[in-house]
């Protein structure tokens, strides 16, 4: 009988949540988790018989749960108080969050790097890989004891066995104590980290680095790690970048009013503002630049770097292999430029086959 009030309270809460879920309209996306939420499934007899409808209904119920974001934050806080510093693929390290890297695949790295080299050989270009390690590789002292981490240096060596890899890691290590090179709540590099990548790329491309542009800063940035591990007391980052005024951006053939999306800068995941997100093909133009065309294969790490490189080239044509659907060999052959610079996070190289699976390779 003593347990009856607790049982009734829990049952009442569950009934209230169920009633609210029926009344409230569905939400399209979660700003905290930075993802699209599952909509209500359309009922069909075929899906009901196969079980697909029930599966989608279950996902919809979980995604559209009222106060879902509060419950996710509460779960994360409880895990922390229980002493668990690794939750899913995110690891806590004091006031930093890191990626768990022990499952990163050497095979993925090897196949993607070999595919990049194959693209260079098939098109008569030179390939250069700027592979960006994770923040854990730069700040291992912040990780808790026994954190499940892989050997990123070994992965870089595997890539270097297939295609030329630029010496980014030594430059990052030399600069790591001057100012943060990565965000605490996100997997991307900061303005300072991207600047180190820019100088490394310039040296490989035979360019003289230009002075840094004026910095812009936007507080209250909660990145990809925070989206998966939202500790309520973790202070947000400040997104910073230094973009030139004389570089123009075209996405899908349409010129954008700037290099950063002002609407995304007002949201939680502000890094998505840079170059207006990730698109299959973008083009950066600088009419006053002395060089011709630079071809780029990219993931989102390049979004903080390419505007700096674009000051040297009249055209920078960048392909995001994760979103590109055409024949990459034909695409490159139809364009000028004697070098293919691949700017990829080591995470992207080691957890998928986006370059290896490009049509034509």
pTM: 0.84
In the 8-state DSSP scheme, what is residue 274?
B
Strands 291-298 and 254-255: unpaired
H-type alpha helices, 37-131: 45-50, 52-63, 68-81, 106-123
The one-digit pLDDT tens for each residue of the chain (361 residues) are 455 565 555 455 455 545 545 565 665 555 655 556 667 667 677 666 677 666 765 665 555 555 556 556 666 666 766 767 777 899 999 999 999 999 999 999 999 999 999 999 999 999 999 999 999 999 999 999 989 999 999 999 999 999 999 999 999 999 999 999 999 999 999 999 999 999 999 999 999 999 999 999 999 999 999 988 899 889 999 999 999 999 999 998 899 999 999 999 998 889 999 999 999 999 999 999 999 999 999 999 999 999 999 999 999 999 999 999 999 999 999 999 999 999 999 999 999 999 999 999 9
Rg over alpha carbons for the chain, rounded to the nearest Å, is: 23
The rounded Cα 361 to chain-centroid distance in angstroms is 24
Domain boundaries, the chain: 1-66, 96-351
The number of beta carbons lying within 10 Å of the beta carbon of residue 10 is: 10
What SS3 state is found at 254?
strand
Cβ neighbour number for residue 205 with a 10 Å cutoff: 17
Two structure tokens written together for 282: 């973008």
Please say whether the beta carbons of 285 and 250 come within 8 A: yes
The tokens for 29 are: 């996306």
Q: Three-state DSSP class for 125?
A: coil
Q: Which residues contact 302 (CB under 8 A, 6 or more apart)?
A: 296, 318, 343, 344
The beta-carbon contacts of 203-206 under 8 Å, at least 24 apart in sequence, are 204/128, 204/166, 205/128, 205/294, 205/309, 205/312, 205/339, 205/341
Helices (H) and strands (E) in the chain, counts: 14, 14
Residue pair 129/169 in contact (Cβ under 8 Å)? The answer is no
* Token pair recorded at residue 12: 């009442």
Contact present, 37 and 31 (Cβ < 8 Å)? no
């Amino acid at each position: 009988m003593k347990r009856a009030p607790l049982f009734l309270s829990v049952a009442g809460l569950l009934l209230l949540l169920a009633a609210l879920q029926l009344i409230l309209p569905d939400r399209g996306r979660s700003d905290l988790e930075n993802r699209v939420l599952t909509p209500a499934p359309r009922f069909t007899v075929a899906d009901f018989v196969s079980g697909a409808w029930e599966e989608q209904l279950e996902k919809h119920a979980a995604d559209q749960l009222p106060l879902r974001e509060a419950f996710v934050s509460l779960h994360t806080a409880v895990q922390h108080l229980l002493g668990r510093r690794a939750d899913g693929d995110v690891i806590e390290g004091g006031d930093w969050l890191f990626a768990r890297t022990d499952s990163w695949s050497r095979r993925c790295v090897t196949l993607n790097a070999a595919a990049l080299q194959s693209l260079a050989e098939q098109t008569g270009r030179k390939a250069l890989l700027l592979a960006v390690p994770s923040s854990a590789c730069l700040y291992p002292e912040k990780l808790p004891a026994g954190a499940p981490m892989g050997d990123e240096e070994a992965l870089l060596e595997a890539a270097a066995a297939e295609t030329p890899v630029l010496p980014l890691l030594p430059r990052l290590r030399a600069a790591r104590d001057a100012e943060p090179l990565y965000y605490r709540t996100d997997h991307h590099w900061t303005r300072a980290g991207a600047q180190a990548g820019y100088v490394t790329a310039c040296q490989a491309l035979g360019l003289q680095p230009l002075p840094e542009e004026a910095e812009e800063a936007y507080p209250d940035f909660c990145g990809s790690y925070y989206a998966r591990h939202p500790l309520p007391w973790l202070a947000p980052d400040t997104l910073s970048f230094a973009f030139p005024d004389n570089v123009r951006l075209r996405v899908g053939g349409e010129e954008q009013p700037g290099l950063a999306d002002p609407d995304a800068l007002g949201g939680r995941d502000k890094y998505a503002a840079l170059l207006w997100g990730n698109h299959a093909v973008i083009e950066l133009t600088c009419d006053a630049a002395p060089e011709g065309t630079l071809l780029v294969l990219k993931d989102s790490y390049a979004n903080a770097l390419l505007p700096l490189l674009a000051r040297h080239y009249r055209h920078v044509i960048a392909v995001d292999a994760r979103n590109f659907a055409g024949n990459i060999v034909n695409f490159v052959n139809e364009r000028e430029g004697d070098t293919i610079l691949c700017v990829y996070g080591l995470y992207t190289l080691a957890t998928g086959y986006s370059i290896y699976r490009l049509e034509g390779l």
